[in-house]
């Protein structure tokens, strides 16, 4: 199985670090899992304009293909103005309606306000459901105070435990989906 993590932040390291933590915990839970981190800072994703995917630049095409070929996915976003990042929303616009069918699609968010955890439930979950992704019951919101200031490492053990639980749930759910299809 291949788990692809997508960090939807174009600035800072926190979101990418948390998405990567999910990938690390998933590999610890099942060493046969292959993982890949797609950090949107490393790509120039074209602004979606309704054209066919073949009309967009190579970065856009490659990222969409990597996500489409994954068995399951974890999406991370910083919360800006009580919403997901524009970069992540733009990426989603490149996918067809059934893009995540039979795929577990986990959610991670980072932000300054405890109230922003609701963005995952009321905004990101609805997007992933639209694409027919299976959304785990666990998700992780990481308040910026949970990070060490200089290194952006998580210093709140409870947050690390929730990240580990999310990774384990995602792996178990995807195994179940795969077994059901076999």
d(C-alpha 132, C-alpha 104), whole Å: 9
d(C-alpha 35, C-alpha 1), whole Å: 9
pLDDT at residue 94, as a whole number: 98
Residue 83 has pLDDT above 80, yes or no: yes
CA distances from 149 to 39, 153, 154 (A): 21, 8, 9
CA distances from 57 to 97, 115, 129, 175 (A): 21, 37, 27, 34
Token pair listed for 90: 């733009």
- Tens digits of per-residue pLDDT, 113-160? 877 778 888 899 999 999 999 999 999 999 999 999 888 899 999 999
Question: pLDDT category, 182, cuts 50, 70, 90?
Answer: low
pTM exceeds 0.85 for this model: yes
The yes/no answer on whether domain 2-181 falls in CATH 3.40.50.360 is yes
Bigger pLDDT: 63 vs 116: 63
pLDDT at residue 31, as a whole number: 96
Q: Any idea of the CA torsion for 79, 149, 160, 118, to the nearest 10 degrees?
A: -20
Handedness of CA 177, 26, 36, 112 (dihedral sign): positive
Residues 6+ apart with CB under 8 A from 141: 108, 109, 110, 111, 114, 116, 117, 120
Hey, where are the domains in the chain?
Answer: 2-181
* Best CA proximity match to 29, nearest among 175, 156, 181, 179: 175
Question: pLDDT category, 105, cuts 50, 70, 90?
Answer: very high
């Amino acid at each position: 199985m291949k788990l692809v993590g997508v960090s939807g932040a174009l600035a800072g390291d926190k979101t990418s670090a948390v998405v990567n933590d999910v990938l690390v915990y998933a590999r610890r839970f099942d060493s046969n899992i292959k993982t890949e981190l797609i950090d949107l800072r490393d790509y120039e994703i074209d602004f979606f304009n309704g054209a066919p995917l073949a009309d967009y630049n190579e970065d856009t095409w490659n990222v969409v293909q990597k996500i489409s070929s994954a068995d399951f996915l974890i999406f991370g976003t910083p919360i800006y103005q009580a919403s997901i990042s524009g970069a992540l929303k733009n990426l989603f616009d490149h996918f067809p309606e059934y893009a995540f069918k039979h795929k577990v699609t986990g959610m991670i968010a980072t932000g300054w306000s405890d109230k922003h955890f609701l963005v995952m439930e009321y905004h990101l979950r609805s997007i992933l459901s639209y694409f027919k992704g299976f959304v785990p019951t666990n998700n992780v919101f990481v308040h910026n105070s949970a990070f060490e200031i200089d290194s952006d490492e998580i210093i709140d053990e409870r947050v690390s435990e929730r990240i580990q639980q999310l990774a384990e749930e995602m792996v178990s759910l995807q195994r179940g989906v795969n077994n059901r299809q076999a």
